[in-house]
Structure 1
Amino acid sequence: MAEWKPTLAQHYHERTKYDPETIAQKARSLDWDKQPLPYKDYKLGTTYDLKPYLNNAPTDEENWEKWHRLSRFLLLSYGVTAKLQTPSGDQILLRAAPSAGGLYPAEVYLIVRGLSFLPEGLYNYQCKTHSLIHFWEDSVWPSLKTACFWDSTLENTELAIAVSAIFYRSAWRYEDRAYRRIFLDTGHLLGNLELAGSLTDYRPHLIGGFNDDKMNELLYLNPQEEGVITVAGLADILEIKQNLPPTTTALPSKANHHFSANIPDGNLLSHLHELTKIETEPNLSSKKRKEAERKDKYNFPFCLKVSTETQPIFWGEQLEGLQETILKRRSTRGFNGEEITLDELKKLLSFTYQPQDYWRQSLDSTPDFFDLNLVSTFVAVSGVTDLEEGCYYYAPSSQELRQIRFKNFRRELHYLCLGQDLGRDAAAVIFQTADLQQAITLYGDRAYRYLHLDAGHLGQRLNLVAIYLKLGVSGIAGFFDNQVNEVLGIPEDEAALYITTLGRPRRG
């Protein structure tokens, strides 16, 4: 067998690791005069105000209920849910989906084919005003189908969503490492799309494999500054012909083994994005289909095993608890160091990893991810009642925690989270990791996108259930990568993707 050579995604991952010995040297002052605006402004187009359809009682307007559903769906996915006033008098608008540094790189577009209440064409969701701007009026659905390689989910749907990212919004602060955060942030948004769909009778069918250049052209994006991240056919489940089976969500790109190792800092993000594009539809034989059941790892014969089976969380007769939670979710700024209960941890894991247990509450039992078999989950326990301190592998198929390390890691967690007290004071810290080489073998360098999108999606489910349980929660995408592997005791080539800290929130 030929020796494996690192690919561009692996090179990028190594180059963008935070290292204790070099992080201070790479630190720079932010140029606040160049801080990007987190909103896109279209000068031309027809505006459709969605606010009147949020809370008002139904009117005799023919399509009021359809407008109401779409308005709620967009608000719960990416709408403004809080406003903060800064000491300088500026206003910060917080959205339903969290974003690193409040930079919100994602833009949401609607592509309409033949809705009775919304003309065909292209729309940008203006979250600042909770409105849609219709900036292109001609039919583009045939072009959408071509760009998505005639994905079957677009045959019967009348509405699609495209999520793009404006790279500089994140790169302004996080430089090349921003690529990780962009996809984690978009994963948060995908988590909201899924749950908001259940609340409004829509079902998003993810399309991660598409012709990037054609999608960018379809939306009139400048590929030097932004790019489409994912597409979803949005099925109306009240229309029987749109009740579609799950399909392939991820297609492979090339694995780029031949590249310059001297790509200048600042160009690495754009270089990776360009070389993970798909130009032509992969052969059917090379399409990687999701397996029906997730695989568990790290099954040591004598390790402590703790069952995580529990009763599903009840979100209310009409899922009112879920809607309220999405609207009030906020990242926690500090924990008080107190313990959480084992039952609370079980419920966190249940909602995040066992969606099949929630179908009786009208939640999607098989939500779309790209390939969860590639993502592993570990839990560092510092303060959970009736659970020994240490690091555990979470086995989702067996629904159990398997202890792999034995000690309290508060000091190490504080350190690897770049000295943030969230790591030290958390009762439990959840890590998402992946075997990067295995992922690239399946999906080429585009796997790097899929892994972070899935990690962000899982992170958003953790966010929401923690808030519902009145716990504190905060995602961390900045950490000392190699120290994560040391604490968890996992191989060096296992890539740390995302960290979620959990605990009792500090008051005041």
Structure 2
Amino acid sequence: MPDLQVSIAEHYHERTKYDPETIHAKSQALNWEEQPIPFKSYKFGTSIDLKPYLSEDPNRDGWWQRLSKLLVCSYGLTGAIPTSGEPHYLRSSPSAGGLYPAEVYLISRGTPELPAGLYNYQARTHTLLNFWESDVWTSLQSACLWNPVLEDTQLAIVVSAVFFRSVWRYQDRAYRRIFLDTGHLIGNIELACAMTDFRSHLIGGFADEALNQLLYFDPEQEGAIAVLPIADLTQIRENLPLARTALPTAPKLDYPRIPDGGLLSYFHQATQIPHNPNAKVNWKVPEAAEHSDKFNFPFCHRVSTFCDPIDWEHDLHGLEQTMIHRRSTRAFSGEPLPIGELKAVLDFAYQPQHYIEQNLDRSPDYFDLNLVETFVAVSGVTDLEDGCYYYAPKAQELRQIRFKNFRRELHFLCLGQDLGRDASAIVFHTADLRNAIEQYGDRVYRYLHMDAGHLGQRMNLAASHLGLGASGIGGFFDDQVNEVLGIPQDEAVLYITALGRCLHRASRSRQR
């Protein structure tokens, strides 16, 4: 039997770590004949074409234009890579390996524009497929344990995961990447709502089985991951107060020996919330919701990160274009990054209150940012000494904890990817996993990775708008990251975002 003092979340995290001594022995050759299609199809339903509403034609219905923009900026197709067969489509939200495990559903309570029912967003054709015509809002409220945000809203987005799309490549570790990808998508939805006079409210505490049944999922293949009620800010009654986003589960300490290949499924089932429509939930936001700086290293070098906010242009046009044209960087030039640009990336990710005048949400929903910490390994930033820094978002400063250029070590830590070696700065998101489990139970593993992905997506967009390159990295030697960079050992590494100059952009700059 596994160690009964270790919860299933800790067990999963240890089992799915990459280790330099075992990674090659555990790696499996991909069966390309089984590569999953990243689009869901239905044999029935009625399609609503959203493409005509992408234009700014003032004669078209404004509500439909807003919804069309919201969906295309969140998860729509933005490009295609030619292959010998069907092109490999790119989307506005990044995904590990370009596998796109997430599906997006829209639930309507019944509005003058959209009849009550269930809709799937068909990204390939930018259409809404109505596959169930019925009033299911009360069932949604019950599955969400009567979250008060659903009392006055009329629409809700549900994000699901089709597990095998990621499992095909990443095996049991895919669970981490699924929730990081969902965090990217949540970040896009939040920002796209700000551009379209909507406001998304995040719900991570729901009865999994009830929600899966509502959407007719085969739970072995697909599961609900997050619910986002969408408030229409043009309607006064939908300007809603914030509510608690995360609910706890009891830690699971007693579980059998789980074979490789079955760990993801078992872990997902073990972190579900049972359906109790009579449960009394305190949905009030906890008073200590403000992020506090966890580490205050004595006598360390401190660098302020105060800076002017990024200008997203009139009506957030610059943000919209960035979301559509963003691409993950495949190679960095190794050239230095101006310190002001690193500060701006951190500012947009962590200081949303600086963007109120640009009509962005001053308090976007996360699950619990107090649980997520940030470290930055600097290898080439002007006016900033090389080394590893802790980023203190409340104080808005970088605190140096290691004095060294880590390019060679970062190349190793990132599984030999040149991105790790050539980046100017690499951001690490971490969490004290045991402490997080004490607060929220094993379900917190979902929350942590979605929050890390959300922060990573804000950094992606900020970097792209500034003309920088950014790439999320979900594969790394977990324990060695802490040892090499001096990150406290009880901090579990969740996600990495590499920042730097794109190789092709640097080449064009030299040519000019």
TM (norm. structure 1) is 0.97
Q: Offset at 1:493?
A: 2.8
The counterpart of 1:452, out of the listed 449, 454, 459, is: 449
Q: Which runs of 5+ in 1 are unaligned?
A: none
Residue 475 (structure 1) aligned with residue 466 (structure 2) = no
1:136 paired residue number:
132
From the superposition, tell whether residues 285 and 219 of structure 1 become closer, same or farther in structure 2 (CA, over 3 Å): closer
1:47 paired residue number:
47
The counterpart of 1:275, out of the listed 270, 276, 295, is: 270
Residue 491 (structure 1) aligned with residue 488 (structure 2) = yes
1:347 paired residue number:
344
- 3-state secondary structure, aligned to 2:467: coil
8 Å CA contact 1:477–1:498 kept in 2: the answer is: yes
8 Å CA contact 1:251–1:288 kept in 2: the answer is: no
- 3-state secondary structure, aligned to 1:144: helix
Residue 223 (structure 1) aligned with residue 229 (structure 2) = no
2:372 paired residue number:
375
1:384 paired residue number:
381
- 3-state secondary structure, aligned to 1:133: strand
Separation in 2 of the partners of 1:505 and 1:441? 41
The counterpart of 1:436, out of the listed 425, 430, 433, is: 433
The aligned runs of 1:83-102 (5 Å cut-off) are: 83-86=80-83, 88-102=84-98
Separation in 2 of the partners of 1:198 and 1:307? 29
Q: Offset at 1:89?
A: 4.1
Amino acid at match of 1:494: E
Separation in 2 of the partners of 1:450 and 1:264? 25
2:359 paired residue number:
362
Separation in 2 of the partners of 1:193 and 1:286? 22
Residue 321 (structure 1) aligned with residue 318 (structure 2) = yes
Q: Offset at 1:292?
A: 3.5
2:230 paired residue number:
234
Q: Could you list the per-position Cα deviations for residues 229-278 of structure 1 after superposition, in whole angstroms to 9, with x for gaps in the alignment? A: 00011000111110011110000012001112x20000000000000000
2:510 paired residue number:
none
8 Å CA contact 1:248–1:290 kept in 2: the answer is: no
From the superposition, tell whether residues 286 and 133 of structure 1 become closer, same or farther in structure 2 (CA, over 3 Å): closer
- 3-state secondary structure, aligned to 2:348: helix
- 3-state secondary structure, aligned to 2:202: strand
Q: Offset at 1:56?
A: 5.1
Residue 333 (structure 1) aligned with residue 356 (structure 2) = no
- 3-state secondary structure, aligned to 2:494: strand
8 Å CA contact 1:206–1:249 kept in 2: the answer is: yes
Residue 172 (structure 1) aligned with residue 168 (structure 2) = yes
From the superposition, tell whether residues 79 and 236 of structure 1 become closer, same or farther in structure 2 (CA, over 3 Å): same
Separation in 2 of the partners of 1:56 and 1:46? 25
Residue 418 (structure 1) aligned with residue 397 (structure 2) = no
Separation in 2 of the partners of 1:462 and 1:284? 34
The aligned runs of 1:146-161 (5 Å cut-off) are: 146-161=142-157
The counterpart of 2:251, out of the listed 222, 241, 255, is: 255
2:34 paired residue number:
34
Q: Offset at 1:285?
A: 6.8
8 Å CA contact 1:124–1:134 kept in 2: the answer is: yes
Separation in 2 of the partners of 1:484 and 1:457? 21
Q: Could you list the per-position Cα deviations for residues 423-453 of structure 1 after superposition, in whole angstroms to 9, with x for gaps in the alignment? A: 0000000000000011101110000000000
Q: How many residues align?
A: 501
- 3-state secondary structure, aligned to 2:192: helix
Q: Offset at 1:284?
A: 4.3
- 3-state secondary structure, aligned to 1:76: helix
Separation in 1 of the partners of 2:323 and 2:282? 40
After the TM superposition, which parts of structure 1 deviate over 2 Å for at least 4 consecutive aligned residues?
280-292, 490-493
From the superposition, tell whether residues 433 and 138 of structure 1 become closer, same or farther in structure 2 (CA, over 3 Å): same
Amino acid at match of 1:39: F
Q: Offset at 1:280?
A: 4.3
Separation in 1 of the partners of 2:473 and 2:385? 24
Separation in 2 of the partners of 1:11 and 1:215? 27
Q: Offset at 1:114?
A: 2.1
From the superposition, tell whether residues 427 and 442 of structure 1 become closer, same or farther in structure 2 (CA, over 3 Å): same
From the superposition, tell whether residues 255 and 78 of structure 1 become closer, same or farther in structure 2 (CA, over 3 Å): same
Residue 111 (structure 1) aligned with residue 102 (structure 2) = no
8 Å CA contact 1:206–1:369 kept in 2: the answer is: yes
Amino acid at match of 1:329: R
Separation in 2 of the partners of 1:492 and 1:283? 38
Q: Could you list the per-position Cα deviations for residues 344-364 of structure 1 after superposition, in whole angstroms to 9, with x for gaps in the alignment? A: 111001000000110100000
From the superposition, tell whether residues 223 and 4 of structure 1 become closer, same or farther in structure 2 (CA, over 3 Å): closer
Separation in 2 of the partners of 1:285 and 1:255? 20
Q: Could you list the per-position Cα deviations for residues 381-436 of structure 1 after superposition, in whole angstroms to 9, with x for gaps in the alignment? A: 00000001100000000000000111111111000100000000000000000000
From the superposition, tell whether residues 213 and 117 of structure 1 become closer, same or farther in structure 2 (CA, over 3 Å): same
1:264 paired residue number:
259
The RMSD of aligned alpha carbons is 1.4
Q: Offset at 1:485?
A: 0.8
% of aligned pairs identical?
Answer: 61
Q: Which runs of 5+ in 2 are unaligned?
A: 508-512
8 Å CA contact 2:38–2:165 kept in 1: the answer is: yes
Amino acid at match of 1:265: D
8 Å CA contact 1:391–1:405 kept in 2: the answer is: yes
From the superposition, tell whether residues 283 and 303 of structure 1 become closer, same or farther in structure 2 (CA, over 3 Å): farther
- 3-state secondary structure, aligned to 1:313: coil
Separation in 2 of the partners of 1:287 and 1:321? 35
Amino acid at match of 1:354: Q
From the superposition, tell whether residues 352 and 286 of structure 1 become closer, same or farther in structure 2 (CA, over 3 Å): closer
Residue 206 (structure 1) aligned with residue 202 (structure 2) = yes
Amino acid at match of 2:36: P
- 3-state secondary structure, aligned to 1:83: strand
8 Å CA contact 1:251–1:287 kept in 2: the answer is: no
2:72 paired residue number:
75
8 Å CA contact 1:378–1:488 kept in 2: the answer is: no
TM (norm. structure 2) is 0.96
Separation in 2 of the partners of 1:257 and 1:283? 25
1:408 paired residue number:
405
